[in-house]
Chains A and B, each alone.
Chain A
Amino acid sequence: MSILSKEEAKQILEKALKFSKANDCIVTLNGSNSGNVRYARNTITTSGMRSSLTLGVQSSFGKKTGTTTITEFDDKSLEKVVRRSEELAKLSPENPEYMPPMGPQTYKDSPTFAKSTADITPEYRAQVAADSIEPAAKKDVTAAGFLNDNAGFNAMMNSKGLFAFNQSTNLSFSVTMRTNDGTGSGWVTRDYNDVKKFNSAQASQIALDKSLLSRKPKAIEPGKYTVILEPVAAGSLIGNMIGNMGARQADEGRSFLSKKGGGNKLGEKLVDERITIYSDPWNTEVPSATWDGNGLPLQKRTWIEKGVVKNMFYSRYWAKKKDKEYTSGPANGIMLGGDASIEDLIKSTKKGILVTRLWYIRTVDPQTLLYTGLTRDGTFYIENGKIKFPVKNFRFNESPVIMLNNLEALGQQQRVNGNLVPSMKIRDFTFTSLSDAI
């Protein structure tokens, strides 16, 4: 059993900490039970379960630090791991950016744990696979998918008296449906803390419908198009933008938020004023842990407010150096949306492209956050408010900053990979070439 209660975790951490002779000591304890099923070619290919429980010790003498981990928890092992981290610390060169551990903090719990997810059985996983495979086979379609579920906890304690604990569950699912004539492909992804919210048959049906609708796509010229991005397509680019909002990179002159002549773009308008993105660990749709790796209590924090850069991440060291508040990166991302459904967005589009998903996204230029990648698993041409026909996939070269300045409309939010992202309509999205891939 790798999921410990708060008290059990606390006891082990206290015991380990008692062995410490270092100036500063941080101990962490992480455990999880996870299970998965993988299927392809309409049959289950692999399934497995995995448990882990790991204790980490970081000891510091002055600005010298050593870290060790161990997977055994008897007294002798606990003492051994602490001693070993102390030996490593003494051997290490000084880190001028070392920050001592923080003192005790208080945390407000977030609903990250659902017993129903922790109780998932191998039979349930097999049923999820069957919910894809059976309807696919009936329609001459082949399903390949993956379900992974996880229940775990994280705990940390330090020599200054800080103790933090969180239990969480998560499941992620995706399935690709390919028509057996090789001309159509559909895909869907879902993720939740609580498996009760997951309807695998319904999700699989979306991928199946898309695979059938996307058969025999036509080639249209690449160029600049109005696009409707489903939440998962938009989220992949916007997530990359938010992930790059570190203050240090910007202050050092090597970020899209660096300012000519020095400094960063905090407080400046970056994108369309309808764009607001924030983090909220207590949001019931996308709950997250309420403390970061240093034990800092997380807050609800706005990154972009009405198009303006409101906050950037400051590490403890950089915050101190720049006399700013220590600001951890986002635990989740929530982007405000609108009321429009995807169908509404299509209805209001004269000429455009509906994009299910963007794939193989890589940075082309970190200065402008230019990314390249491709559409995949359901790309459709829209004319006069209606889907006309499926189109061949495109390669895009686009920056989320340019994209969010070309905003036409925001649609309803959906959970994507632990974040809430709306669908959106964007004008002048840049497609640079065609792909024959299905």
Chain B
Amino acid sequence: MNRRNFLQLAGMGAGAMMLPIPLIGKEVSLEHMLNPIMSVADKKKLANIGLNTAKSKGATYADVRIGRYLNQYVITREQKVQNLVNTESFGVGIRVIANGTWGFASTHDVTKEGIAKATEQAVAIAKANSKFQKEPVKLAPVKGYGDVSWKTPIKKNGFEVPVSDKVDLLLKANSEAKKNGATFVNNRLFLVNEQKYFASTEGSYIDQDVHRIWSFPTITVVDRKKGKFQSRNGLGAPMGMGYEYLEPKAADKIAGPTGTNITLYRNSYDLVQDCIDGAKQAKAMIGAKSIKPGKYSVVLEPNHLGLTIHESVGHPLELDRVLGYEANYAGTSFATLDKWKTKKFNYGSNIVNLVADKTQVGSLGAVGFDDEGVKTKKWHLVKDGVLVNYQAIRDQVHMLDQNESHGCCYSQSWNDVQFQRMPNVSLEPGKEKYSVNDMVKDVEKGIYIVGRGSYSIDQQRYNFQFGGTLFFEIKNGKVTGPVRDVAYQSNTQEFWNSCSKICDASDYRMFGSFFDGKGQPPQVSAVSHGSSTSRFDNVNVINTARKI
């Protein structure tokens, strides 16, 4: 699904009046979703047809992905269910190397004949494209794993929870928000299940069952007298979890710094409480003081900092961007290979450790194996402030003089070709014992920023501007109250070098991006970013209030 279609479905885009026809997949009944379509043994038989056909047609490598992609969306506003959508997409994608060149074809006809035909097409495309190839594809070695499987460690399958329970939860949250002063509430729930079978000529047969969930409310307060409105987005995060994420536990609720009176969430989310809080906070924000522009220490909460990590660390360290493959769309990167080769490029201050990790439990990017059969792992991108590595896949790592793929190859569905996508990229917690109050107590002039807001960064990832959901002024070590009209602007290297203090592991939690876009034609992927509350000094803050 692409972002525009998602917006239409969620009733947020200009096309909201159109028929709600989903993008990937056909809509299906609930019972149908819970029944497996094909056994693993049958998938293996069919996959072998693809692998053997490829080899007999002259391919030197082939992989076959048989995928079933299920989505469920519940879209509400106030006391209305605007849309209930179940979609399913089932098919197979075959990727080959012939004459040293990639070829790809896909089909929804998951039969012997269908797979053989698509494989022949993939080989033919590879051969045709090889005329334009300058250098043959070079794959890093990977072990054949035989028959293996992996499953997101969920406790409760969201697709098995009755839709009425989900509708009830969302409408209850909406009604509580209204009782507490909200004028409007848009509340959406997204569930994703990827059932992926992967086989390759390297000797791997990998069966995976991947789950993701996102509960996303927006609470709006309108003050007609003042002619003003304020929206406050939910403070939960999309997660690689089951429905247990929406069953709140007291231990997962985290208090903000003294004086903020806010509740934040870790591994479970109290949607109803957050909507109540959201209504009260949106109201408070309307009347809050407008920020005075200038230099501030900014104390960034993980559900905010995650997006800054995504844009200023995750994207610039994608090797395909660095090399220029994304130059016409997303852009290139300031973090060039020559900087990396010096082994001295100070990406951040020496307390900054940024890691890529495809194994992190509960994260959106966690899988056992990537979409080209590489076992996933964790590795450093920035160590003690220094740039040490990138994100790369099998046909790229040789450009870094490395011989092991990083395992971050992904495709949004069986009918799109897999390519390098961002793994979870996270800031490691501080080694010294610091609480959120320790972040604030020695700040003379600062702002505590919570949740995601507007975000924009240049095509080489130098200059960025971020807003947020909630802002609190800090004066002489204390939070004095909410402020508004805040955005901060900085330069990536300057910003990460101004990182002066990071909370310890007790404050660590994840932010997520559910629909991250890349490529032409574009594909989406989901990725998490963990961090503990962190402080950055001497950051340029602008005032965004205008009159029209």
Contact = CB atoms under 8 A, between A and B. Distances in A.
B17 interface: yes
Interface in A360-415: 360-370, 372-374, 376, 393, 395, 397, 399, 401-402
B19 interface: yes
Contacts of A71: 26, 108
Contacts of B16: 315
A92 B21 CA distance: 16
B38 interface: no
A33 interface: no
Contact of A360 (B183, B457, B547, B548): B457
B334 A436 contact: yes
A331 to B, nearest CB: 11
A329 B15 CA distance: 8
Contacts of B540: 433
Nearest to A174: B328
B454 A364 contact: yes
B458 interface: yes
Nearest to A253: B222
Contacts of B539: none
Contacts of B134: 43
Interface in A302-330: 313, 315-316, 328-329
Interface in B308-356: 323-329, 331-332, 334
Interface in B108-156: 108, 125, 128-129, 132-134
A419 B334 CA distance: 34
A309 to B, nearest CB: 12
Interface in B1-43: 14-22, 26-29
A436 B544 contact: no
Contact of B548 (A54, A95, A292, A369): A369
A87 interface: yes
Interface residues of B, number: 77
A437 B459 contact: yes
B275 interface: no
Contacts of B231: 254, 366
Interface centre among A43, A126, A315, A367 (most CB of B within 10 A): A367
Contacts of A437: 331, 334, 458-463
A401 B459 contact: no
A97 interface: yes
Given A69-B22, A144-B324, A174-B328, A292 B465 contact: no
A435 interface: yes
Nearest to A374: B458
Interface string A140-184: 001011101000000000000000000000000011101000000
B222 A252 contact: yes
Contacts of B329: 146
A67 interface: yes
Nearest to A142: B324
A436 B81 CA distance: 47
Interface string A46-80: 11100000101010000000011111000000000
Nearest to B485: A365
B29 A88 contact: yes
Contact of A395 (B28, B220, B332, B465): B465
Contact of A432 (B457, B489, B546): B489
Contacts of A196: none
Interface residues of A, number: 91
A374 B463 contact: yes
A126 B17 contact: no
A164 to B, nearest CB: 12
A253 B544 contact: no
B545 interface: yes
B487 A372 contact: yes
A84 interface: yes
Interface in B45-69: none
A345 B44 CA distance: 66
Contact of A148 (B18, B129, B467, B521): B521
Contact of B14 (A26, A246, A258): A246
Contacts of A45: 325
A267 interface: no
Interface centre among A71, A174, A315, A365 (most CB of B within 10 A): A365
Contacts of B228: 367
Contacts of B183: 252-254
B520 A293 contact: no
A69 B129 CA distance: 34
B167 A360 contact: no
Contacts of B324: 40-41, 142, 144, 178
B82 A95 contact: yes
B489 A395 contact: yes
Interface in B443-474: 454-463, 465, 467
A388 to B, nearest CB: 23
B243 interface: no
A374 B17 CA distance: 32
A93 interface: yes
Contacts of A103: none
Nearest to A57: B27
Contacts of A124: none
A67 B227 contact: no
A397 B542 CA distance: 10
A394 to B, nearest CB: 9
Contacts of B332: 178
A293 B19 contact: yes
Contact of B328 (A28, A70, A87, A146): A146
Given A178-B327, A402-B548, A434-B463, A69 B458 contact: no
B34 to A, nearest CB: 15
A125 B167 CA distance: 48
A56 B18 CA distance: 12
Contacts of A252: 183-184, 222
B132 A43 contact: yes
B21 A67 contact: yes
B26 A70 contact: yes
Contacts of A370: 544, 546
Contact of B132 (A44, A253, A313): A44
Contacts of A41: 323-325
B544 to A, nearest CB: 5
A424 to B, nearest CB: 18
A362 B453 CA distance: 10
A40 B458 contact: no
A438 interface: yes
The 4 closest A-B pairs by CB, nearest first: A260-B227, A293-B18, A253-B222, A435-B463
9 contacts: A41-B323, A43-B132, A67-B20, A144-B326, A176-B328, A315-B17, A364-B465, A368-B546, A435-B458
Interface of B: 14-22, 26-29, 80-82, 84-86, 102, 104, 108, 125, 128-129, 132-134, 163, 167, 183-184, 220, 222, 224-229, 231, 323-329, 331-332, 334, 417, 454-463, 465, 467, 485, 487, 489, 491, 520-521, 540, 542, 544-548
